[in-house]
Amino acid sequence: MSPRSTDPGGASRVRRRALLGTAVLVVLVALAGLTAYLTRDGRTSSKAPAPQTSSASPSSPTAPASASSRPHGSRGALPVPPSTHDPIAFGKAAAAALWSYDTRAYSQRKLLAALHGWLTSETKYADTASVDALVPSRVLWKEMAANGQFATAKVNEAHFPDSFTQALQADPGAITTAYVYAVTVSGKQSIAWNGSPHGGTENRVTTLAVQCRPSQPCALAGVLSAVAP
């Protein structure tokens, strides 16, 4: 498993994490009692776009290219978010970005800055800490860089969790407050370093909160603390 940076606690971070969970119909993280917080004002009866289950197929034309396609020895570029209105396609791209890094090509600070560019500009829903927690700390990054360590990712599949789909079907209007979708992505992370071109491979699965308002491209809201099947 990839190293994680130290994540100091704080009241604002805890509040943002709870709010993010609520935005994706917190049946996913056992915070259902807070749902009324986001939906108490001005809930509309308009219907959100229905989840496109067909787009979850690995062969979908909207699926982003795997981050593991570059040959060993080539340097990885900083991740750039795609311009799409499809939460499944965006979730795949975001997972590949979060599971990849290259200590040979850029600094830890630059990677964090690039990943922050994937986050929604609506700070009310942006859980920056959940993204930062997936990036190695500066101290660990320095040690990894000394060995030329890098990680690539291959996304196999992405879908809307059953619990999210059921909650959305039960109350389609609830999502129109924040337009935040839960997307569970599975794949593999491969890690290599100097003297070990093949390294090791690990299965990965995560549930992301993806905001896709009808009027703008999708953006990342955060990474949920628990995986929703």
* Residue 46 pLDDT: 34
In the 3-class helix/strand/coil scheme, how is the chain assigned residue by residue? Answer: CCCCCCCCCCHHHHHHHHHHHHHCCHHHCCCHHHHHHHHCCCCCCCCCCCCCHHHHCCCCCCCCCCCCCCCCCCCCCCCCCCCCCCHHHHHHHHHHHHCCEECCCCCHHHHHHHHHCCECCCCCCCCHHHHHCCCCCHHHHHHHHHCCCEEEEEEEEEECCHHHHHHHHHCHHHHHHCCEEEEEEEEEEEEEECCEEEEEEEEEEEEEEEECCCCCCCEEEEECCCCCC
Q: What residue ranges of the chain have pLDDT lower than 50?
A: 1-8, 25-66, 68-72
Measure Cα distances from 45 to 33, 124, 159, 169, 173 in Å.
21, 23, 25, 13, 5
Q: In what order do the strands lie in the sheet with 196-211?
A: 101-102, 150-159, 180-193, 196-211, 219-223
* Residue 195 pLDDT: 84
pTM: 0.74
* Residue 47 pLDDT: 38
* Residue 151 pLDDT: 96
* Residue 35 pLDDT: 33
* Residue 10 pLDDT: 55
* Residue 196 pLDDT: 83
* Residue 59 pLDDT: 31
Q: What is the dihedral of CA 6, 79, 205, 200, to 10 degrees?
A: -80
Residue with the two structure tokens 């992405």: 158
Each residue of 60-106: pLDDT tens digit?
333 344 454 444 456 889 999 999 999 999 999 999 999 999 999 99
